[in-house]
Amino acid sequence: MHFLLMSLLGIVLLIKAIKLLRLGNQSSYWKAVKGEVTNTMEIREIGPASRTQKMNHLNVKYKYAMKGVEYTSDRVRYKWNHHNLLQEIKKYPPGQELTVYVNTSNAEQAVLEPGVDATNYVAIAAGIFFITAGLSLALTQ
């Protein structure tokens, strides 16, 4: 039964990683427009094992306009990397004017840091690893 869960985890991870990679690559060609940070908030999440599963991340909300319509978003990047929270808080303070990269085909899709990095490919490799490991376990049982 573990092999099934491992393979399923790999499939979900692989699908998400490919989607982020695709959007990240596309975002490099999106239109640059002016925007403004409206809110920056640190989010603290605690998992079921509260002593070991603590995760802090930053929620950056910003607004931008495309063809006279104002939009809001909170997507900073299409990458898997964890970022330095203190550095990000300083980088995106409320009121900060910045460049927003917008998908001209779907103006609701926007990002502050376009492109991909090595973590996108590591996530794909991890997905493939879990699928392969799950299938290997299934064949040996």
Cα 69 versus chain centre, distance: 25
pLDDT recorded at residue 141? 76
Closest to 114 in 3D by CA, of 20, 35, 27, 30: 27
So what's the pLDDT on residue 10?
93
Give residues with Cβ within 8 angstroms of 56, minimum separation 6.
Answer: 42, 43, 44, 45, 85
pLDDT confidence of residue 52? 58
In this predicted structure, the answer to whether residue 13 has a pLDDT above a threshold of 80 is yes
Evaluate if residue 54 carries a pLDDT over 80.
no
What is the average pLDDT score of the chain?
Answer: 87
Q: Which CATH fold topology does 30-114 show?
A: OB fold (Dihydrolipoamide Acetyltransferase, E2P) (2.40.50)
Q: Between 20 and 82, whose confidence is greater?
A: 20
Average pLDDT over residues 74-83: 78
Q: Would you list the domain boundaries of the chain?
A: 1-28+116-141, 30-114
Confidence of residue 84 (pLDDT cuts 50, 70, 90): low
